Structure 1
Amino acid sequence: MTTSERAGSLEAMIGLDNSALYRLMTWLSPAFPVGGFSYSSGIEWAVEAGDISDAAALRGWLSTMLTDGAGFSDAVFLAHAHRAAELGSDTPLSEVAELAAAFVPSRERQLEATAQGRAFIEISRSAWSCEGLDAAVLRCETIVYPVAVGLVGALHGVPLGPLLHGFLHAVTSNWISAGSRLVPLGQTDSQRVLAALEPVVVATAERALVASLDDIGSASFRADLASLRHETQYTRLFRS
């Protein structure tokens, strides 16, 4: 098999050409300036309260956030935003964006979601603009982070499956990065947590791909409470 044949075979398996892969890796890299490093999604309060004290506790906390909290909900919003932007759907993009913005449980999580969404859109328009992006943005009053990723990914032709898995990996990695600084954890323990969460991320993405907007819900009460109480902490490293 020639090099070009091997490349074509790989592309066929993952549904992602080289340009789309390049964009996906760029947008969801920690170096992409959406400010994710400054948010902990309530993990900072959970560490202070004693809910998260070691790698095992962080893994359990994040597993719940992925399966029953913000991870799953954001993944569903991303999927529906992608479909609405790519092909049109029964639910217009503006309605997906409005529901996603209303779904966050606290003021600080609202800041986290909208600030990152706004940054993602602004950088995309400046450095990764494409046909239809400005018009799509104008249809939405507020664009939170997962909707921004789904919207831009669709208009750039990045397939939904890889985009969704990449998004959940990036979000999980950012949560672990926050936890590693707060607990604190070493680099090896942080990687062990990420490795242990791989099947959870994969399963969450697969659920989100087939979920309707009516399937969205949250059962991560303690994590939601953490995001509400974070703003009253005496000292804080993170904005949420």
Structure 2
Amino acid sequence: MINATITIIMTANTTTMDISVAEADPFLMPLMLWLSPAFPVGAFAYSHGLEWAVEAGDIHDARSLGGWLVDLLTFGAPRADAILFAAAFRSAEAGDWPALLETNALAVALAPSAERRLETTAQGAAFVMAARAAWDCEPLERLATEEPIAYPAAVAAAAAGHGLPLEASLQAFVLGLIANAVSAVVRLGPIGQTDGQKILAALLPRLRALAREAVHSTLADLGGAAFRSDLASMRHETQYSRLFRS
């Protein structure tokens, strides 16, 4: 991983949003539900290889975790997932079902290890099942014919099917990925909950920037170089003692 660091700020700056609560509710409420820990996708069971990184000593405090997450957002799977999310969203919004299914297949194929593939497909299938029960729409119906289903394609299909804005959906999706990663490391012990919240607050500008980048991206922009993270997911497959499935 590149030696990136972030400053853990003690207080978060507040930004005045030029949107009223009434205007925000139509798209914020579904996103908060779908990407909350209560939505039954089993995200708590996956660490994205972070369990091995902790075992190996790569992540041992807030600073090292912050640097690892900066690398992921810049070069790793969260960036790729954001680009794939945007492509799937645009295909679903346009009713281009072959393109939606092709993007989903690409998202599955790009998983660099067996556990990463399990991580995205198990959550993708669980999301589609739960969302169709309460939030069904045509993009989800079309995607449900596929096996396996990648998590970013599943959430993107729901968001597009319910007319949610792409950038807001991307922000919520990427935040959910990173929040789950932080939660995994908190449970593993190197940091406490307070440091976890400081890291998330410090990363918010990067999350917003990634969402803006992905909105204007195409599949040609896919690429990554977070090799240590990919190796961590492979090493985790044979880790002797572990709490997580990835």
* TM-score exceeds 0.5: yes
Which of 124, 137, 141 matches 2:144? 137
**Conserved 8 A contact 2:50-2:185:** yes
Does structure 1 residue 107 correspond to structure 2 residue 114?
yes
Deviation at 1:89, TM superposition (A): 5.5
Deviations 1:98-138 (CA, angstroms, capped at 9, x unpaired): 11110010000100100000000000111212345323432
Which of 41, 44, 50 matches 1:37? 44
1:45-56 alignment runs, 5 A limit: 45-56=52-63
1:1-240 alignment runs, 5 A limit: 9-10=19-20, 17-88=24-95, 92-131=99-138, 133-138=140-145, 140-240=146-246
Consecutive unaligned residues of structure 1, counting only runs of 5 or more, are 1-7
In 1, Cα distance between the equivalents of 2:100 and 2:138? Answer: 16
Compute the RMSD of aligned alpha carbons.
Answer: 1.9
Distance 1:225 1:191, change over 3 A: same
In 2, Cα distance between the equivalents of 1:220 and 1:124? Answer: 31
Q: Percent identity?
A: 52
Deviation at 1:19, TM superposition (A): 3.2
In 2, Cα distance between the equivalents of 1:235 and 1:164? Answer: 34
Deviation at 1:11, TM superposition (A): 6.5
Q: TM-score, normalised by structure 1?
A: 0.90
**Conserved 8 A contact 1:42-1:223:** yes
Distance 1:144 1:131, change over 3 A: closer
**Conserved 8 A contact 1:118-1:144:** yes
**Conserved 8 A contact 2:47-2:245:** yes
Deviation at 1:10, TM superposition (A): 2.0
**Conserved 8 A contact 2:49-2:236:** yes
